[in-house]
A and B are shown apart, each in its own frame.
Chain A
Amino acid sequence: MTTSTLPLTVGDTIPAWEVPITPTLVVSTAISTRDFQDVHHDRDIAQAAGSKDIFVNILTSTALVERYVTDWAHQRTGHWDTEVRGIAIRLGAPAYPYDTLTFTGSVESVEDGVATLEVTGAVSLGDHVIGTVKVAV
């Protein structure tokens, strides 16, 4: 696999990306990740368990972080060949329907051919995910 150079400098910021959270998004992403836990598709059960509503599952939080970074890399280089080496996230506030999940990010370090990007996904209740993405450069 060839990897085009992703021109990254420490401190570069990634433009914000806003994801409107809908019931359809929560359900379709949970099912497409083969996660059938009821709190991701059944509001009655989610509320009975003390949640405000159904909420985005962890595999989807990771997948959206991945998309945020690779879409941005594509915009910068015109290529889709960015190699994601790892995604590490810490989970915070739940992402409920009718909220907006806003991703922001920046380049934290570039060394030994790997860039570490810091990414935050925030909802109205606070940070939903805080994490790092490692990409080959």
Chain B
Amino acid sequence: MSAAAADTGAHERIMAEAERIEALGEAAEREARDPVNQPTINNWLEAMGNTNPRWQAGEAPPSMAQVWTMYGLGGKPPADDPLHGMMKVLTDEGYTAVLGTNCEQEYRRTLRVGEQVRVTTALDSVVGPKRTGMGEGYFVTSRNTWYVDGPDGAAEVVATMLFRVLKFIPKGAAS
């Protein structure tokens, strides 16, 4: 793959795809594999050394919000996933490397044991190309929204996350 920097059409293709994927809005909805559950919380508490007794009494730690909907071992994003779709566009243009740069989570409330969580993914923005210490790349920001459905069927937002990665051509990569 030739370096994208030398390809004047690459930026236009990347931004056109970014616009298309951003317009999808919240997509690729997924259910958590398991409801919020105490054994999974306990494994996390042990690993983190977290002794807060609230997390043994029916509530889940706020920063576990993302854990419930992780893909797991061998799990794959759905074909329409906006983040992975955008990553593939950039990989195909030569921006092969990836580095997480920002993670901003907001918690509306703690989750409770027994609740079933689902998540959507949206592409928030694509900014670039930028020269960085790592190499030339694009900053790709996605937005996740976690929901719990109430007894009346109404969807409640319980947490959100903005996640930004730098998708870049490693410095020194052959052009």
Q: Hey, which bits of chain A sit against chain B, CB under 8 A? A: 25, 28-29, 31-36, 58-67, 70-71, 74, 80-81, 83-91
A31 to B100, CA, bound (A): 18
Besides A36-B73, A58-B103, A67-B50, 4 more A-B contacts (Cβ < 8 Å) are A29-B48, A59-B66, A61-B103, A70-B52
Q: What CA separation (Å) do A105 and B38 show in the bound complex? A: 30
**B107–A91 touching, CB < 8 Å:** no
Q: How far is the CA of A32 from the CA of B37 in the complex (A)?
A: 13
Given A34-B72, A67-B48, are A88 and B67 also a contact pair (CB < 8 Å)?
no
**Number of residues of chain B lying within 8 A (CB) of chain A:** 32
3 closest pairs, A vs B, by CB? A34-B70, A88-B104, A32-B47
Establish whether residues B107 and A84, one from each chain, have CB atoms under 8 Å apart when the complex forms: yes
| Chain B residue at smallest Cβ distance from A35 | B70
Contact B104 A63 (CB under 8 A): no
Chain A residues whose CB sits within 8 angstroms of the CB of B153 once the complex forms: none
B101 lies within 8 A of A91 (CB): yes
Contacts of A60 in B (CB 8 A): 47-48
A80 close to B54 (CB less than 8 A)? yes
Residues on the B chain within 8 Å of A32, using CB: 40, 43-44, 46-48, 67
Min CB gap A13→B, angstroms: 22
- CB distance B67 to A59 under 8 Å? yes
* Smallest CB gap from B101: residue in A: A91
Instruction: Please provide the chain B residues from 94 to 148 with a CB less than 8 Å away from any CB of chain A in the complex.
Output: 99-107, 110
